[in-house]
Amino acid sequence: MAERPNFEQSGQAHVDFSPSSDGPSSSNSAPAAPYVLQTRWEVVKQLGQGGMGTVYLARDLRLSNRLCVVKRLRVDFFREEDRQQALAFFQREAMVLSSLKHPNIVLIHDYFEEDENYYLVMEYVEGENLQAKLVDSGHPFTEEEVVEWAVKVCEVLHYLHRHNPPVIYRDLKPSNIMVDNTGTIKLVDFGIARPYAEESDNTHVVSGGYSPPEQYWGGADPRSDLYGLGATMHFLLTGVEPLALQTSSPQQVNPRVSSRIDRVVQRATSQDVWLRYQTAMEMLAALKAESKSNIRKVPLTVLILAGALVLSALIFAAVSLVKQPTRSVTEGTIETRARSTDTLPAPKSKKGESKKVTAMAPQPAVVVDTPQDRKPTDQQVLTPPSPPAPLAALVPASESASNSAQPDHLPLDAAMPDNREESSTDPEGLTPLGSH
């Protein structure tokens, strides 16, 4: 038989509805396309062929001719034992898919037998698988794209592993991850997926480079799917197939891969199952934590600069506060003194008469002057008394003889300057000194 392309590596973006003469190739070959199955599924064209069967593009004649995929089990095995095993896988795929409802898992529409052939009808995903997509681009994907896809696959694996009963995918690789035209990923080909039971014997089905060591002797468990995801990330980051039974390190092939993601891949592909991530959620948390660590670097630098600016502002404010109280106390003292003079009571004479005192007129609080700087005004006729002068300086020489008979202690008025305001009659009955 001529070698045909592997349907798992074939893109489905381009659809040709012209009839194809490439009908199913088997001992019980079906008629050439187009032909109708179960009076509903119109087979249009063959998309590809794999080890377990052949895949066709079809239309649903009952629901607006929507596109779908018809998978036909291969029956031309040399040994009956191989045929029975293939049939068991095919039926198990139908059983597993029928119980799964997840936006990132291909849906199953029907399963039936017709003319000794077994068919599985599934959702059609218009797009490419990741292996074909990388080959078409000619270069590895960016780390951000790979991490985004890996996060979605972790969510799917978490759903499968927590299903009742748990489902082990066992064939996680780039060719089984489809990306549709909207960027949504879909897991396809559940041919060797199976319900997980620790006591059961597992079939030895492997994909070189993507299967963990325990799967070679049939010991697959949920951690085996995480190994396949790590190996898939290695291929998507480097464009190089991972080596079988070896821990993958994409950074050794592609230096642009960060050390953080390289550590994630190395742990996921550890040969010791107990050194790997133990659950899909644990690996999911690691992927998200690693992606967030890149975002924290920039804000941390900004916070350091902002902290330095705040510290400088606090030091400047502290210096200003140290100087401010000294100026405030000085101004407050002067203002207090000015206000205190405004409230002094007017001096009274012995008879209770208040004398007019204008020298202590209130001054604005903002104007501070000293008594030495004040100039006398017309109203300010009373000045502070000067120190007492010698008696000889107050009495003329011509009158010194007559004044010698006066008492030693002169009245207070005799020592006061002549420029003060005084009434014509002295209330004490004393005669001014100049009247003698």
Domains of the chain, earliest start first? 7-123 (3.30.200.20), 127-295 (1.10.510.10)
What was the pLDDT predicted at 197? 53
SS3 assignment for 131-148: HHHHHHHCCCCCHHHHHH
Of 16-30, 193-207, 309-323, least confident by mean pLDDT is: 16-30
Give the burial string for 155-184 (b: 16+ CB within 10 Å, else e).
Answer: bbbbbbbeeeeebbbbbbbbbbbbbeeeee
Q: Is 136 a catalytic residue?
A: no
pLDDT digits (tens, 9 = 90+) for 269-322: 999 999 999 999 999 999 998 555 454 444 667 678 778 888 888 887 887 777
User: Is the model's pTM score more than 0.85?
Assistant: no
What was the pLDDT predicted at 296? 46
What was the pLDDT predicted at 33? 74
Of 18-22, 67-71, 89-93, 156-160, least confident by mean pLDDT is: 18-22
For the record, the structure tokens of 317 come out as: 């404010």
Q: Compute the distance between CA of residue 241 and CA of residue 6 in angstroms, rounded to an integer.
A: 17
**Is residue 331 predicted with pLDDT exceeding 70?**
no
pLDDT above 90 covers a percentage of the chain that reads 39
pLDDT digits (tens, 9 = 90+) for 60-84: 999 999 999 999 988 777 788 888 8
**Band of the pLDDT at 88, cuts 50, 70, 90?**
confident
- Residue 430's identity, in one-letter code, is L
**Band of the pLDDT at 16, cuts 50, 70, 90?**
very low
Average pLDDT for residues 91-108, to the nearest whole number? 88
**Is residue 402 predicted with pLDDT exceeding 80?**
no
Query: Nearest to residue 245, comparing CAs of 216, 298, 209?
Result: 209
Q: Compute the distance between CA of residue 317 and CA of residue 239 in angstroms, rounded to an integer.
A: 60
Select which of 110, 171, 225, 426 is catalytic: 171
What rounded mean pLDDT belongs to the chain?
75
